[in-house]
Copies of this chain bind each other. A is one copy, B any other.
Amino acid sequence: MTRQPTIEDVARTAGVSKGLVSLALNGRPGVAQETRKRIDAAVAELGWRPSANARGLATKRAYSLGFIVRRDPITFQADPFFASFLAGVESVLAERDQVLVLSVVPDVEREFEAYRRLTSDRRVDGFLITDLLQDDPRVRLVADLGQRAVTLGRPDSESPFPAIVRDYDAGIDELLTHLAELGHRRVAHVAGDERMQHATTRLTRHLEVAARLGLQTIVEHTDFSPESGAAATHRLLDRSERPTAIVYANDPMAIAGIAVAHERGLTLPRDLSITGMDGSDTGRFVYPALTTLDNDPVGWGRAAATALLSYIENGDGDDVTLPAAALILRSSTAPPGSPG
């Protein structure tokens, strides 16, 4: 393979200066129709694409978005959310000639290092922040670094960044109403990591709605991992007054919960109704298929990338609201004591 063409080559074969090629490339006004055609032809002929490095050096941009995800090294679980989320992100980056720089780190220390390094090396123009914590330190850090970002969800503390939000409250409402209508009266909630914002939001909402519907609630706390979900399930089923339904704050825990129920010889959903949240396809392939709240991860990805780019390019910092999460009814919920 021969050397890739440069803007100089294009200028020469189009018989213009490279300045003009640059203008044309970026769709700027001030280039004659006729000339633009010649340039376009030359670009096509040579198959020229601008060097991201050169462009970035001149414009002080990286044309890249950063995404840093921290995973517990032991439970290095691939959250089913991410693959789809990333596909959504990619779909918008591809058409804008930008890329995603991904960093998977095992602990907070490396996580902070990663934010610093990507910033000081001018690797990215902004960050996608997911899994918001209570009073999330990353928001401060990124702001202090002078970087841009968007958050998935609205931080509870002060944030200078646009937030992408989706209403989950209505979905939880639907979910509990569904359970109540089936005849459940004792509905447990297996909450996620208390330090995570959406864990708390979901729990709070559950408690509110349950109170309104006259449901008794038992709460167990976890770290969102399947392992902790399984443990919580055992604790719930060890009680003298067992819940007849368990609502898990995410699908992986619900799936682990199903396994525990089987292990203990329960027949589902007759002996126990189970629901997830943050709906993923995985839930379709377990038995019984998991009733859950949809979360459209691809939509999150598209929205987050779009918002971040527009924030970077236009300084447009408005929040973005996604359609509310919808209830997906499958077969893991039924009236208590009903035939499997």
Q: Which A residues have a C-beta under 8 Å from some C-beta of B?
A: 1, 4, 47, 49-54, 56-57, 62, 64, 69, 71, 73-84, 86-87, 89-90, 94, 97, 99-106, 110, 113-114, 117-118, 120-123, 144-146, 226-227, 229-230, 256, 258-260, 262-263, 281-282, 284-288, 297-298
Contact = CB atoms under 8 A, between A and B. Distances in A.
Given A282-B226, A287-B262, A51 B121 contact: yes
Contacts of A118: 99
B76 A281 contact: yes
Contact of A259 (B94, B99, B103, B287): B287
Contacts of A263: 287-288
A99 B62 CA distance: 13
Given A76-B281, A263-B287, A101 B101 contact: yes
Contacts of A54: 57
Contacts of A260: 287
Contacts of A74: 281
B57 A53 contact: yes
A73 B146 CA distance: 36
The copy count of this chain in the complex is 2
A128 to B, nearest CB: 12
Contacts of A77: 80, 83, 281-282
Contacts of A4: 120, 122
B122 A94 contact: no
B145 A121 contact: no
Contacts of A76: 80, 83-84, 87, 281, 297-298
A224 B233 CA distance: 29
22 contacts: A1-B144, A1-B146, A4-B120, A51-B57, A53-B122, A71-B83, A73-B87, A74-B281, A76-B84, A77-B282, A78-B82, A78-B84, A86-B102, A87-B105, A90-B103, A90-B105, A94-B113, A97-B121, A99-B103, A101-B101, A227-B284, A263-B288
